[in-house]
């Protein structure tokens, strides 16, 4: 079974009348319509009048006298290309999330754009001025992602969310924002906010569940179970894991309680090695390859459906997973009770040190000959200036630094790989829900109060079903979890058995990257091939390769050393695609 790697590549010699738009594997979610001198290509699942309607949206924009204004009324996930033959111009629109990324480049004579950065980089590589930037490679290895619309080369960039890009012959590109986040906070009570979230989320899921053969990616955690709970008609739930473990068992119970059928989809051993090339083609070192877990090849049965829903985004929006906060500790043990941390005056340096996606391997600095500190500082300073223009609250500014472009978030390749299984729709990527998230007081996000409350409001039984993350009821608050954590530890020691064990990595889907790198010899050898590649080392000259070659076995034994080599392998694979 072949994976359908999705792409859309636009190549336009600007002085000529017709751009070449090459469709690759998008089939039903790419709609093309013409109206006189206008041609519109719409990609994704746009929503108008509470209905996913690609043709209706296309006609609406083709007939609009001011598409730059009317685009703001659309909901859902999309990117739109509007070609005006009379003006010899092309307009590209992204949604509020840039959920269908647009990577673009404009030279003196040509314009290029693609949904897939690897496709664009391979096209641009033919140009004599193209080059990879080592500072971007450093940014990726340090933070496992890129920020502020960056790509790895000197010609291209990623189009910002809520934007309109206009390309016209003989003129410089014009980039306009038709939407910006509003961080004004709600003064409603927590109970009222729970009810409001429940109404908004139920509506979002209902709109996106339209169609036949609907599936839900269901884990044993919080987010996808909320989708399953709020789905208004039966669906097939798919749970991916390497074995029929606690994650699968919990998901099976949630599906049954929600009125859905369930399929356990077993991931083959060696999955990450077998799909590494696919992940490289999909991500192009914009993400660490191991976040691409959902390719249907090497999964039995493959998780495929006409329409697929999932819970991406609920964790960082409503569970506050990236808030500037830290858990309290009791007797050296981390609890579930968190507290906010104070922000220093120098937000940029603080973010450089504490960005949530930052590489956790503490020994990395020993192997660096250049840390590109000025470059990183300038990047984050630019973002911080944008954040300050939107809000005076440092919590909002912190959140903006992380989520200013959701499709560049380090876990977004999760969503991209799901699109290899069918038409994927993301309930959290809803305009009204996103506005609601932006308006939530930070105190209600610290312990996921709204999401937990919405679970209990909808179904107490499912809310009280254990989470595979910690083995405790998903709806429990931090104090109940912490109390039981202490009790469970005492009972475990008293019983001397596994009756009260804490779920480990084997109980969940995601592997520990350190263990994975150490125990999979073939995969590890491919990752370590960069230690003998002089061309690669000439580009990544900020690493002391002699020292790393001597110490790599020690690095792999150290905590998060596998995480470092996983990121390095992702970038190295991207490099070898361009320069085999």
CATH of the domain at 216: 3.40.50.620
507, 530, 565: which is the final residue of a domain? 507
Would residue 182 count as lying in a domain?
A: no
Domain annotation covers residue 327: no
**Contact indicator for 192, 444 with CB cutoff of 8 Å:** no
- Cα–Cα distances in angstroms (integers) from residue 336 to residues 105, 454, 468, 507, in the given order: 46, 19, 15, 20
Q: How many alpha carbons lie under 13 Å from residue 433 in its C-beta half-sphere? A: 24
- Decide which of 459, 476, 507 is a domain's last residue: 507
What region, left, alpha or beta, does residue 57 occupy, with left being phi > 0 and alpha being psi -120 to 50 degrees? alpha
Are 435 and 391 within one domain?
no
What is residue 466's predicted lDDT score, i.e. its pLDDT?
Answer: 87
Burial class (CB in 10 A: 0-12, 13-18, 19+), 223: buried
Mark whether 132 and 12 lie in a shared domain: yes
First-to-last C-alpha distance (Å) of the chain: 26
Residue 325, domain member (yes or no): no
- Segments forming the whole domain that contains residue 54: 7-177
Question: Of 568, 558, 559, which is closest to residue 531 (Cα–Cα)?
Answer: 568
Q: Which residues contact 199 (CB under 8 A, 6 or more apart)?
A: none
pLDDT at 430: 97
Q: Same structural domain for residues 529 and 436?
A: no
pLDDT at 34: 84
- Contacts of residue 280, Cβ cutoff 8 Å, sequence gap at least 6: 118, 289, 570, 573, 574, 577
Q: Looking at the structure, do residues 439 and 559 belong to the same domain, yes or no? A: no
The dihedral region occupied by 492, where left means phi > 0, alpha psi between -120 and 50, and beta the remainder, is alpha
Q: In this structure, is residue 27 part of a structural domain?
A: yes
Q: What is the pTM of this model?
A: 0.92
202 & 292 share domain? yes
Chain CA centroid to CA 94, Å: 16
Q: Do 149 and 254 share a structural domain?
A: no
Question: How far apart (Å, rounded) are the C-alpha atoms in residues 222 and 219?
Answer: 8
Residues 220 and 349 in one domain: no
In a domain, 183, yes or no: no
Are the C-beta atoms of residues 124 and 104 closer than 8 Å to each other?
A: no
Q: Where are the alpha helices (DSSP H) in 404-541?
A: 413-418, 431-439, 449-458, 460-463, 478-495, 513-519, 521-527, 534-539
Task: Count CB-CB contacts under 10 A for residue 96.
Answer: 23
CA pair distance 454, 436, nearest whole angstrom: 14
C-alpha 179/C-alpha 46 separation (Å) is 16
How many independent structural domains does the chain possess? 4
**CA of residue 378 relative to chain centroid, distance:** 24
Half-sphere exposure of 237 (CA within 13 A, CB side): 30
Q: Which parts of the chain sit beneath pLDDT 70?
A: 1-9, 12-28, 488-509
Q: How far apart are CA 107 and CA 162, in angstroms?
A: 24
Q: Are residues 392 and 412 in the same domain?
A: no
The CA distance from 523 to 543, in Å, is 22
Phi and psi at residue 197, to the nearest 5°: -60, -45
Judgement on whether residues 235 and 150 belong to the same structural domain of the protein: no
Instruction: Look at residue 185 and tell me if it is in a domain.
Output: no
- The answer to whether residues 197 and 208 belong to one domain is yes
Whether the upstream peptide bond of residue 301 has omega within 30° of 0, thus cis, is yes
Would you call 286 helix, strand, or coil by DSSP? Answer: coil
Note the helical H segments in 29-111.
54-62, 67-70
φ, ψ of residue 82 to 5 degrees: the values are -120, 110
Do 357 and 454 belong to one domain?
no
User: Which of 405, 439, 459 is the last residue before a domain boundary?
Assistant: 405
pLDDT computed for residue 117 by the predictor: 95
Residue 125, pLDDT score: 95
299 strand-pairing partners? 267
Question: b/e per residue, 318-353, with b = 16+ CB within 10 A?
Answer: bbbebbbbeeeeeeeeebbbbeeeeeeeebbebbbe
2 occurs within a structural domain: no
Do both 382 and 503 map to the same domain? no
Whether 326 is covered by a domain: the verdict is no
Which H helix or E strand runs over 158? strand 156-158
CA separation (Å) from 490 to 486, 487, 502, 507? 6, 5, 12, 21
Looking up residue 150, the CATH number of its domain turns out to be: 3.60.20.10
Half-sphere exposure of 553 (CA within 13 A, CB side): 2
User: How much is the pLDDT for 4?
Assistant: 36
The pLDDT, as a whole number, for residue 29 is 76
């Amino acid at each position: 079974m072949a994976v359908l790697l999705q792409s859309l590549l636009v190549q336009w010699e600007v002085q000529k009348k017709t751009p070449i738009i090459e469709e690759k594997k998008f089939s039903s979610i790419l709609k093309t319509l013409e109206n006189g001198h206008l041609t519109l290509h719409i990609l994704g699942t746009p929503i108008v009048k509470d209905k996913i309607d690609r043709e209706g949206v296309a006609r609406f924009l083709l007939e609009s006298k001011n598409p730059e204004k009317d685009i703001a009324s659309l909901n859902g996930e999309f990117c739109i290309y509007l070609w005006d033959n009379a003006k010899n111009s092309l307009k590209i629109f992204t949604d509020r999330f840039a959920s269908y990324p647009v990577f673009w480049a404009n030279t003196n004579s040509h314009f290029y754009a693609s949904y897939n950065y690897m496709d664009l980089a391979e096209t641009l590589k033919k140009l004599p001025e193209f080059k990879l930037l080592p500072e971007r490679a450093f940014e990726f290895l340090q933070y496992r992602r890129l920020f502020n619309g960056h790509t790895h080369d000197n010609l291209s960039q990623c189009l910002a969310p809520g934007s309109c890009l206009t390309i016209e012959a003989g003129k410089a590109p014009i980039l306009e924002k038709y939407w910006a986040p509003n961080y004004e906070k709600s003064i409603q009570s927590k109970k009222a906010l729970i009810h409001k979230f429940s109404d908004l989320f139920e509506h979002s899921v209902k709109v996106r569940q339209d169609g036949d053969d609907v599936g839900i990616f269901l884990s044993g955690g919080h987010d996808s179970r909320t989708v399953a709970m709020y789905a208004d008609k039966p669906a097939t739930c798919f749970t991916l894991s390497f074995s029929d473990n606690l994650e699968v068992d919990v998901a099976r119970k949630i599906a049954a309680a929600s009125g859905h059928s369930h399929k356990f989809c077993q991931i083959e051993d060696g999955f990450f090695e077998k799909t590494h090339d696919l992940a490289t083609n999909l991500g192009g070192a914009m993400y660490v390859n191991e976040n691409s877990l959902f390719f249907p090849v090497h999964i039995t049965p493959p998780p495929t459906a006409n329409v697929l829903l999932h819970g991406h985004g609920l964790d960082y929006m409503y569970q506050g997973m990236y808030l500037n906060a830290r858990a309290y500790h009791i007797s050296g043990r981390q609890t579930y009770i968190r507290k906010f941390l104070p922000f220093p005056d120098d937000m940029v340096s603080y973010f450089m040190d504490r960005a949530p996606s930052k590489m956790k391997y503490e020994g990395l600095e020993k192997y660096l000959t250049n840390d590109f500190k000025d470059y990183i500082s300038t990047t984050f300073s630019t973002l911080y200036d944008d954040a300050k223009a939107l809000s005076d609250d440092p919590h909002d500014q912190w959140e903006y630094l992380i989520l200013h472009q959701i499709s560049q978030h380090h876990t977004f390749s999760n969503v991209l790989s799901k699109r290899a299984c069918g038409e994927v729709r993301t309930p959290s990527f809803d305009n009204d829900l996103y506005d609601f998230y932006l308006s939530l007081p930070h105190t209600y996000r610290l312990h996921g109060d709204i999401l937990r409350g919405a679970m209990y409001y909808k179904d107490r039984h499912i809310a009280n079903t254990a989470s595979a993350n910690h083995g405790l009821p998903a709806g429990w608050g931090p104090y109940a979890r912490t109390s039981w954590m202490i009790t469970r530890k005492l009972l475990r020691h008293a019983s001397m058995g596994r009756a009260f064990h804490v779920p480990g990595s084997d109980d969940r889907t995601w592997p520990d990257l350190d263990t994975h790198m150490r125990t999979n010899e073939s995969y590890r050898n491919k990752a370590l091939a960069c230690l003998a590649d002089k061309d690669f080392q000439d580009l990544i000259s900020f690493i002391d390769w002699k020292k790393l070659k001597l110490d790599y076995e020690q690095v792999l034994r150290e905590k998060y050393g596998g995480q470092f080599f996983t990121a390095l392998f992702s970038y190295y694979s991207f490099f070898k695609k361009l320069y085999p």
